[in-house]
């Protein structure tokens, strides 16, 4: 990848961002998970596709769950980075909030910063499979090990902007985490379970979603 993030070292045995094989694993795992779904995804199948050995993938990741956690963490780092860059020049907290929402919805439409990671597809993977990274029986140990840091920090960044907007509002953290969860959920619903969303799948979907999320957030906050 052209852009690297410092992810928690417990996410991997060996950092895939640092070797050609590692990059191939990341690149193709996104493609394959998107194509066949996380349940059917195996290291064997991935190894065949990249012309490598199953064992070689295990040298990078303990198992497919850790790979998914790596991918989602990388994604949240990327969104975090975009938000950071784009609110840097803004002073008005309301404008910052709006910008954060735009970025978390549109993360994928930005000019891609690297060739190895297809952010559009990665976003799709996070939408479809992201929840499986933390809905696991080992949640408490993994959380203690810091494996969800990237997401937690991002949620805090946005919660802090909300607190700037309205210092008296007592539920910034929940409002922030719900913003992220809701954004991805509503995209998924619009496409696959349309009776669960007011959004219409299609051309203006992202615009509509931004509008809706900003309306919800500002109504609650202002």
Partner DNA sequence: AAAATAAAATAGTATTACTGTAAAAATTAT
Partner DNA sequence: ATAATTTTTACAGTAATACTATTTTATTTT
Residue 39 is a binding residue for its own copies (CB under 8 A): yes
Residues 206 and 145: their CA atoms lie apart, in Å, by 35
Within 37-171, residue ranges assigned H as helices are 43-49, 54-60, 64-87, 93-106, 119-129, 139-144, 149-165
Choose the contact partner of 54 out of DNA, its own copies, none; CB within 5 to 8 A by kind: DNA
Q: In angstroms, what is the minimal distance from the CB of 64 to its own copies?
A: 11
The total of other beta-carbon atoms located within 10 Å of residue 52's CB is 16
Q: In angstroms, what is the minimal distance from the CB of 204 to its own copies?
A: 14
The total of other beta-carbon atoms located within 10 Å of residue 27's CB is 20
**Chosen residue from 57, 163, 197, 210 binding its own copies by CB under 8 A:** 197
Rg, the chain, Cα only: 18
Residue 10 is a binding residue for its own copies (CB under 8 A): no
What does the per-residue mask of binding to DNA show for 28-67, with x meaning CB under 7 A? ------------x-xxxx-----xxxxxx-xxx-xxxx--
Residues 57 and 11: their CA atoms lie apart, in Å, by 14
Residue 199 is a binding residue for its own copies (CB under 8 A): yes
Residue 172 is a binding residue for its own copies (CB under 8 A): yes
Choose the contact partner of 21 out of DNA, its own copies, none; CB within 5 to 8 A by kind: DNA
Residue 192 is a binding residue for DNA (CB under 7 A): no
Choose the contact partner of 201 out of its own copies, DNA, none; CB within 5 to 8 A by kind: none
Residue 94 is a binding residue for its own copies (CB under 8 A): no
| CA dihedral for 110, 116, 118, 122, sign (positive or negative) | negative
Greatest distance between any 2 Cα atoms in the chain: 56
Residue 168 is a binding residue for its own copies (CB under 8 A): no
- The 3 state secondary structure assigned to 176-203 is HHHHHHHHHHHHHHHHHCHHHCCCCCCC
For its own copies, the closer of residues 52 and 218 by Cβ is 218
What residues line the site for DNA (CB under 7 A)? 14, 19-22, 40, 42-45, 51-56, 58-60, 62-65
């Amino acid at each position: 990848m052209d852009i690297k993030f410092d992810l928690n070292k417990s996410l991997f045995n060996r950092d895939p961002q640092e070797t050609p094989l590692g990059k191939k694993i990341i690149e193709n795992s996104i493609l394959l998970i998107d194509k066949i779904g996380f349940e059917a995804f195996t290291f064997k199948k991935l190894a065949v596709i990249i012309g490598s050995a199953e064992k070689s993938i295990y040298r990078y990741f303990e198992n497919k769950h850790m790979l998914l956690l790596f991918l989602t963490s990388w994604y949240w780092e990327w969104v975090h980075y975009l938000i950071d860059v784009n609110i840097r020049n803004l002073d008005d907290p309301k404008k910052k909030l709006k910008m954060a929402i735009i970025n978390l919805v549109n993360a994928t439409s930005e000019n891609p910063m690297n060739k190895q990671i297809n952010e559009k597809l990665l976003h799709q993977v996070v939408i479809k499979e992201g929840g499986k990274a933390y809905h696991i029986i080992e949640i408490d140990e993994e959380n203690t090990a810091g494996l969800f840091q990237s997401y937690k920090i991002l949620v805090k960044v946005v919660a802090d902007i909300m607190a700037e907007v309205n210092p008296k509002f007592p539920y910034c953290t929940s409002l922030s985490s719900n913003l992220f969860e809701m954004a991805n959920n509503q995209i998924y619903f619009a496409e696959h379970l349309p009776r669960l969303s007011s959004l219409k799948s299609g051309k203006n979907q992202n615009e509509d979603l931004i509008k809706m999320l900003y309306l919800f957030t500002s109504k609650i906050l202002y």
